[in-house]
Structure 1
Amino acid sequence: MAYLALYRKWRPRTFSEVVGQKHISIPLQRAIEQDRLAHAYLFSGPRGTGKTSMAKILAKAVNCLHPNGANPCNECQSCREINEGASLDVYEIDAASNRGIEEIRALKESVRTLPAVSRKKVYIIDEVHMLTKEAFNALLKTLEEPPAHVLFILATTEPEKIPLTILSRCQRYEFHRISVADIRDHLLYIAKESGLPLTEDAADLIAVRADGGLRDALSLLDQCSSASESKVLDARAVYDLLGLTGKDRILDLSHHIFNGKSGETLSLFYSILQDGKEPAAVLRDLLEHFRNLMICKINPKAPELTQYGSQVETLRSDASRLSEPYLDALFEALHAALSEAKRSSSPRLSAEMGLLHLCRIRGSQSLDSLAERVTQLEKELASLKKGRISMAPAQAPSASTIPVPPVFPQPVSQPVMKPMPQVPSPSFPEQRPPKTAGTPAAGPESRNFPKAPPVSKPSPIPAAPDPPTTAPGGPSVPAPAASNGAALINPSTYEDLWQKVLGYFMSIRRIDVYTCLRKSTLIYCTYTRAIVSAPQPFLVAAGNNKSYQKVAAEAFNKITGHPIEIHTVLKGSEEEASAYTLLKTAEAAPSPVTPQHPDPIPQKVEQNPYRPISREQISDKDRSDPSLNEALKIMADCDIYEKTNQ
């Protein structure tokens, strides 16, 4: 007798033998027992999940002469003929090769005749989604109201291609992918019954590679059992027979990549190629490994991780140490390398370059790598704030936590951490650059320190020192030069002074500066420096514009006789809190400074010749102006000004 493939030999013959589809077999059995069968069924789902087998079991169950409950007996003449494919009343039609309207017309003619020997004529149409549009239209009426002796069973892997008019006429059952555990147990059962020396690790590996299809799993088992020369069919034999890379070598390859060891990575890659593996296949196995690492971070007990066998703990340990952004960067880079290797004229070269790029991911400027390093730096700063890290210089953050990766490889003799002295860090005061010009520089980069701006140089301490420019716990606020001109202006005059400054902007027709600063508030002012608070970030950016600051200094000079430079901060920010703290400190000074100018606001500013109005207040005469109408169409809801009669 000719040899039968395992998936044909072990095809299920009763409802109870169908693996992993109890949500379908149980309702069908109840419908048979209660005599409530529908006239048309649609079985849909992935390949190898039991659709055609379930259809044959249903055909036997409705025609069995001696049923065992709802299950067919598989011993009567009707069951034997259906099992052998020789029944005159059960038609198996392949819609992929019989997809035209002529075949459907022949089917409609056959439906009218009574069954030859069975109770029902059963039509099993496999891959029904391959029928043409005309064939579906011809089948509609027959499928909706077939004769009482006819049962239609449609099977497909792509139900979305079937017209809704067909779907609405059928009872639909969706077949699920079979779980790894169910496939493994079934493989071990078949191997035991067939005398195959299959180990549990090999069964796990085959079950994972089958991707939910039991027929694929049985085909892989059949292939491995016939090609294996060893007495035991273990995981290593399955790896060799299926052309896969062993998990131990994949783990070693990934460890070299994580450690950035390019030489070791290429050496192991060449060793794998010597065993007959294709470059693209190695990258594909490595890509699946990175995917399993991501799955392990989410669910360390995922069923597909059983293919690692005794090395699953190594996988879990790697997943716990690797960050998600880093894994994302690895997966994306490897996916691009695999795509390039598939379409490249030199797959090995593309695979080598892809692996070298993976070794450099941690030092690259990709977004995922930068995100990982920023996250690590934030953790370091949080630990420093909580005082859980010693303040000793020897425990400064390592180079891997500083997000300044080199774009190109640096020479070995060049120190990578040379820019570190220029990084301001409140936790390491000894690393700050020296403030005296006579201190010798620590390296070539330090020779520019004597040319630093005058703010960093020490200045003589005046008789009446200014208040400190840094609030406790807040950011630094630019401080005026220590001179008599830096005396604090009386805060009670700030509102009047600021209104006159805004009026000056309008008097010189600088409406843009007025619009930007009119919502700001003067919160600190000396005769050299003023700090204003703005309610929105874009107003802060505009207020600190050099041209706007120049106009503001001109306005202060016109009013107070001093070119006061303004600095804009965001309302509610730490800078604003520092300015208020600075103001309170200045007011509480033991020797308050009196302004040199007898009148803080000595000059009278020309009254603003413009007044703000709304769109509704525009006169009819002005509305008739076509230029104004066109301007109003494209203008945003901003301030509109009208010249007064003065």
Structure 2
Amino acid sequence: MAYIALYRKWRPKTFEDVVGQRQITETLQKAIDTDKVAHAYLFSGPRGTGKTSTAKIFARAMNCVHGPTSHPCNTCDVCRHILAGESLDVIEIDAASNRSIEDIRNLRETIKFMPAEGRKKIYIIDEVHMLTTEAFNALLKTLEEPPAHVIFILATTEPEKIPMTILSRCQRYEFRRITSQDIAERILYIADKEHIDISKGAAHILSVQADGGMRDALSLLDQCVSNADGTIDETLVRNLLGLVGRDWLFSLADAVFSHKGDVIISAVDDIVRMGKEPRVILTELLEHLRALMLYQAAPESDTLSAYADSMKELAEQAGRVEPGQVFRILGVLQEALMTAKNSPAPRVAVEMGLLMASQGGSTSTHAVSDTSAGAAQIQALTDRVTRLEQALCQIRVPAGSTKKEREEIPLPDDEFSHSGDLPDEPYDDAGFFRTPPAGVSSVPPIQDKEPPPASVQPVSRDIPAAQASSASASPSPVPIPETASSRALPVPENYDAVWKQVCQILEKKKKMQVVSCIRLGRVLYIGETEVILVLKSAFMVKRANREDYYKYVDEALAGILGKGYHMRAYQEGDPELAGYEKKNSEITVTRSPASPEKTKSDTVSVSEEDAAMKSVAPGDIPAAARQVLDPLLEKLGDCHIYVETKK
């Protein structure tokens, strides 16, 4: 009798024999037992996973003389005819060679005939995705409403090429890739029945090389049997399949971990002289590194059964290398393997990938970086920024220097001497002056510029009328008070000017939504900590009182009136405004510079405190003040500077 290949001899004959597809076989068995069999099925999945075998088992289950049954006997005449491929009721069609519309028309003509010996006429169309568009269209109506005695089983490895009109008419079952453990167990079972002596390690290598296909695994086993004189061990399997040895993998991995480029090149030369493909080096080394990674994460994993005879060596090597280094090398070698598969000189790509992995390279020809290298770069940048901040804190700017002179001042460390590392302006995101380094004065800046036109008079406490009239000749912005208790509160006549300055500051910061909301508002009252704004629209009031609006207004008020101010908006006619209007009338009496009675008391008050506000020339400002605050004046523009002196 002629020799039969193992994958044909051991083709599954029952649903229980199908390896790794239990979720499908159990569902089909229940459908048969409950008489809920559909008229069309689609079996899809990778090659060698049992699609056609399951279709033939299903055909025997439906036509067995003891059925329909989920356990066909495989001994009756119907089952034997189907097993031998002689049944007239089970028609296998290869769609790769019968793909035209004429073939489908012939099928439509034959399905109307009743089964010859069974209950159902079953059409198994293999590689159905190869049919032409016209053939699919011709099959649509027949597939949707076939005769009661017909069942269609479509099998394909590429379901995405099948039209949705066909998919929607079938019950779809997705066959999974079989795990290497299941394949290895099946190989050992068949080897035992066939009296083949094979080691567990060799069975595991065959299962891995089968790439999820049972048929491929049995074909490889057949190849090993025909070339073996005795036991099929790992060495025989590796030699037949062109794989490298385990000892060689351990030594190559050590060379990569130890950055020994000469050992790596010598190892590649040895493998190439043995007639093996250079890409095999990367494939095998990736599998070995995966074993190291799994051992570090889960030493008891069943996946490591292939290393049963060398588990001690694996444990020692896994203990000598950090997990992060394994991850980095895996990333580099995977990218190198992709390059080698498409490269006209794969050996160059292999050698380059191995050397990059050994030298700590984190990128490949496709500029792909791994996670650990990216983390190292981030840490290096963080350290550099820290050193830059420390260097900035040590800078001392000479008094009276111009902006150009300040830009030319060298940093303490040449590493940061290029201008791109220095901030252009000493302001934060909100537009306010950053906290100066330790030891540097925070006195407000001085600027030699003409005063800008403004309608707000500088007010400090309550100045006499004569002094206020002289100040009106050269108006300037409202000065910033030191504390809340000694704040210089503007008189109601200056409220509009204060609000214009607030809007100007917000415009400079490009907060146009906030400006459009508050621009038409009227300031009713300015107290020690609050600014009351009146708006005509309830919608505008609601928006102005939102935190993302009023926080910018409060920042602008802090730059004009001092810190601690909070803006609150009310709608025109709100009853609460009456109380603020009363306060405003009282302020008009107590703060008005035109009141003769107030003038005298104010003069005495200032005299008693021995304090006065006077305008000073730029040359009279201390050098320490100019040193730090020149940049601030460049930001604020033209203004008057007032210095309070106490005797």
TM-score normalised per structure 2? 0.61
Q: Contact 1:479 / 1:529 at 8 angstroms: preserved in 2?
A: no
1:29 corresponding residue in structure 2: 29
Structure 1 pair 192/496, CA: closer, same or farther in 2 (3 Å)? farther
Tell me, yes or no, if the aligned pair for 1:40 and 1:151 is still in contact at 8 Å: yes
Deviations 1:35-65 (A, max 9, x none): 4332222222221111111111121222223
Aligned to 1:568: none
Check whether the contact 1:20–1:179 (CA below 8 A) recurs between aligned residues: yes
Aligned pair in 2 of structure 1 residues 341, 496: CA closer, same or farther (>3 Å)? farther
Query: Which residue is equivalent to 2:109?
Result: 109
Q: Distance in 1 between matches of 2:181 and 2:331?
A: 30
SS at match of 2:154: strand
Q: Which amino acid aligns with 2:87?
A: S
Q: 1:497 to 1:208 in 2, by over 3 A?
A: farther
Query: d(CA) in 2 for partners of 1:96 and 1:181?
Result: 33
Q: Is the 8 A contact 1:67 1:73 kept in 2?
A: no
Residues 554/316 of structure 1: CA separation in 2 closer, same or farther (3 Å cut) = farther
Shift of the 293–512 alpha-carbon distance from structure 1 to 2, 3 Å rule, reads farther
> Match of 2:641, SS?
helix
- Give the C-alpha shift of residue 237 in structure 1: 1.8
- Displacement after TM superposition at 1:293 (Å): 5.2
**Equivalent residue number for residue 480 of structure 1:** 440
One-letter amino acid of the counterpart of residue 164, structure 1: M
Task: Provide the residue aligned with 2:245 in structure 1.
Answer: 246
Match of 1:551 in 2: 634
- Contact 1:18–1:54 (CA<8 Å) still a contact in 2? yes
Q: Secondary structure at the match of 1:361?
A: coil
Change (3 A) 1:65 1:316: farther
Change in CA separation of 1:181 and 1:404 when aligned onto 2, cut-off 3 Å: same
Q: Could you tell me which residue of structure 2 aligns to residue 166 of structure 1?
A: 166
- Secondary structure at the counterpart of residue 206 of structure 1: helix
The reply to whether residue 65 of structure 1 matches residue 37 of structure 2 is no
Over residues 404-457 of structure 1, what are the superposed CA-to-partner deviations in whole Å (9 max), with x where a residue is unaligned?
99xxxxxxxxxxxxx9xx8999xxxxxxx9xxxxxxxxxxxxxx989999xxxx
Query: Aligned partners of 1:372, 1:514: CA distance in 2, in Å?
Result: 35
Q: Unpaired segments of 5 or more residues in structure 2?
A: 395-410, 417-434, 446-480, 512-551, 564-620
- How far the C-alpha of 1:296 sits from its partner, in A, is 5.8
Contact 1:88 1:116 in 2 (8 A): yes
Letter in 2 for 1:96: A
Q: Which runs of 5+ in 1 are unaligned?
A: 378-401, 406-418, 426-432, 434-447, 454-474, 532-543, 562-594, 600-646
In 2, distance between residues paired with 1:20 and 1:84? 25
The equivalent residue for 1:122 is 122
Whole-angstrom distance in 2 between the partners of 1:296 and 1:451: 47
* Equivalent residue letter for 2:79: C
Post-superposition shift, 1:189? 0.9
Match of 1:271 in 2: 270
Structure 1 match to 2:135:
135
Alpha-carbon separation, structure 2, partners of 1:490 and 1:292: 69
Taking the aligned partners of 1:123 and 1:450, their CA distance within structure 2 comes to: 81
| Distance in structure 2 (CA, Å) of the matches to 1:29 and 1:349 | 54
Residue-pair matches, total: 470
- Separation of aligned partners in 1, 2:211 and 2:99: 29
* Distance of aligned partners of 1:506 and 1:268 in 2 relative to their CA distance in 1, 3 Å threshold: same
- Tell me which amino acid in the other structure corresponds to 1:109: E
Structure number with greater CO (CA < 8 Å, separation at least 6) is 2
3-state SS of paired residue (1:114): coil
**1:450-599 alignment runs, 5 A limit:** 477-480=437-440, 519=555, 548-549=631-632, 551=634, 558-560=640-642, 597-598=645-646
More displaced 10-residue stretch of structure 1: 26-35 or 363-372? 363-372
Report the structure number with the largest CA radius of gyration: 2
CA distance in 2: counterparts of 1:285 and 1:264, whole angstroms: 17
Cα 1:478–1:137, aligned 2, differ >3 Å: closer, same or farther? same
Cα distance in 2, alignment partners of residues 199 and 18 from structure 1: 23
Equivalent residue for 1:236?
235
Once the two structures are superposed, the pairs formed by residues 139-150 of structure 1 within 5 Å of their partners are 139-150=139-150
Deviates more, 1:272-281 or 1:63-72: 63-72
Flag the 1:343–1:311 CA change in 2: closer, same or farther, 3 A.
same
2:282, 2:333 within 8 Å by CA — same for their partners in 1? Answer: yes
Deviation at 1:335, TM superposition (A): 3.4
Conserved 8 A contact 2:123-2:152: yes
Equivalents in 1 of 2:124, 2:218: separation in Å?
24
Offset of residue 550 of structure 1: 5.1
Moved more, 196-205 or 254-263: 254-263
| Residue aligned with 1:549, SS | helix
- CA distance in 1 between partners of 2:28 and 2:45 (Å): 17
State the distance in 1 between where 2:30 and 2:507 align.
Answer: 81
Alpha-carbon contact 2:279-2:337 (below 8 Å) kept: yes
Normalising by structure 1, we get a TM-score of 0.61
* 1:193 CA drift (Å): 1.2
Task: Give 1:177-256 correspondences, 5 Å limit.
Answer: 177-229=177-229, 231-256=230-255
**In structure 2, C-alpha distance between the alignment counterparts of 1:476 and 1:242, rounded to whole Å:** 71
Q: Partner amino acid for 2:89?
A: D
CA distance 1:184–1:363, shift in 2 (3 Å): closer
Secondary structure class of the residue paired with 1:123: strand
Partner residue in 2 for 1:373: 376
Q: After TM superposition, give the deviation of residue 299 of structure 1 in Å.
A: 5.6
By how many angstroms is 1:100 displaced? Answer: 1.0
How many Å separate the matches in 2 of 1:480 and 1:248?
67
CA RMSD after TM alignment? 4.9
**For 1:86-97, what aligned pairs fall within 5 Å after superposition?**
86-97=86-97
Partner of 1:589: none
The DSSP-based 3-state class of the residue aligned with 1:154 is: strand
Distance 2:218 2:33 in 1: 32
Contact 2:436 2:442 in 1 (8 A): no
Deviation of 1:163 (Å): 2.4
